[in-house]
Structure 1
Amino acid sequence: MKRVVILMAMLLALAGCASNRLSDPEKTAIIEKFITTEQLEARNTISAFDLDSWTSLSDQYLILRTSPFRSYLVKLTMRCNDINYSPALLVYSRIPNTLSAGFDSVFTPDNHRFKCNISRIYPLSKAQNKSLISAVNPKGKDKSLQKAQEEAEDSKE
């Protein structure tokens, strides 16, 4: 009887850990289908770029915002695992206030030696932004720069 109770407790604990979250390959497939369906056109450069907030969609896609009405879907050249879990994001830009595909990169403060190069930049409307986030991660929230900087400072103390 004791073994049955222990076994049931273990099964309940494992069931609690299970989730219906999408895997990164599933998220990538949804995002790429969204790009095709919405006929998003890639841009090489964004002028007057000033990062306001960001959302990680997968280990290869993220959304960067310069204002509540201007957002960009960014594809990285390769998987960048740290971005999903980092409270802060830094942008390396060769030309100030400009973001260029193929030249610029993003990285996390914890792993500043490993830069994730940007391969494509797609402008998004506000409706597309919301639709894409809800399709990939309904509970996804923006990470504002001010909040991320405060969290980074708190972790240093």
Structure 2
Amino acid sequence: MKRYCLAIPALLAATLALSACATGGAKMDDAQRLALYRQHAGAPVDSFQYFGRIDGWTPLGDSALALWTKPNQAYLLELQGRCPDLDFAQAISVSNQMGRVHQRFDKVTVLGQQTIQIPCFIGRILPLDVKAIKQAQKDMRSAGTMPEPAKP
């Protein structure tokens, strides 16, 4: 009987330790990623130069995204309200006026299988310090608070 009583706390401790490991390697949620990007964002700007090419983008919930225009140049776009299906979008488009994207005037449109494409107006544009974000992610991975990026 004593063995049984001692085995249960040991088993419980092992289970908790394993679940802690599993949670520590979990993917950052949208709110955590948005906080990380905001931490490394500059002062808001009215517009940025855009040559019609998106180098990459990351949805940060349903009302913000990080948009890369070059490998080392990115902007945090905070949208005016909720943008339907942004979290699940396969692709997006960004409007511009003569090669510039303006806050409160231009919009992000989610492209996909929905028949109605609802434009999501850009409320605020913040330039991102891409090097600082990459360093923070690297530091978080080495500290075990962020998962390693998926390998192709």
* Counterpart mapping for 1:47-62 below 5 A: 47-50=49-52, 51-62=54-65
RMSD value, Cα: 3.3
Contact (CA 8 Å) 2:63, 2:79: kept in 1 or not?
Answer: yes
Alignment of 1:28-107 (within 5 A): 31=34, 35=38, 37-38=39-40, 40-50=42-52, 51-93=54-96, 95-107=97-109
TM-score, length basis structure 2:
0.61
Bigger proportion of residues as helix = 1
Q: Which runs of 4+ in 1 moved over 6 A?
A: 132-135
Structure 1 residues 59 and 130: CA distance shift in structure 2, 3 A: farther
Aligned counterpart, 1:123 = 127
Spell out, residue by residue over 1:24-61, the C-alpha distance to the aligned partner (whole angstroms, 9 max, x if none). 5xx0x7635863x5573000111244422111121111
Secondary structure of the residue aligned to 1:108 is strand
In 2, are the aligned partners of 1:90 and 1:106 still within 8 Å (CA)?
yes
Percent identity for Structure 1 against Structure 2: 26
- Structure 1 residue 140: deviation in Å? 7.5
Q: Alpha carbons of 1:39 and 1:75: their partners in 2 closer, same or farther (altered >3 Å)?
A: closer
- What amino acid does structure 1 have at the position aligned with 2:104? G
Offset, 1:131: 5.8
Show structure 2 runs of 5+ residues with no match: 1-22, 141-145
Report how many residues are paired.
Answer: 119
The whole-number CA distance in structure 2 between the counterparts of 1:66 and 1:86 is 18
C-alpha displacement at 1:132, in angstroms?
Answer: 7.2
Q: Structure 1 unaligned segments of length 5 or more: list them.
A: 1-18, 142-157
Query: Any idea what SS the aligned residue of 2:81 has?
Result: coil
| C-alpha contact 1:62 1:74 (8 A) present in aligned 2 | yes
- Give 1:87 shift: 1.2
Q: How much does 1:129 deviate? A: 3.5
Q: How does the TM-score come out when normalised to structure 1?
A: 0.59
Greater gyration radius? 2
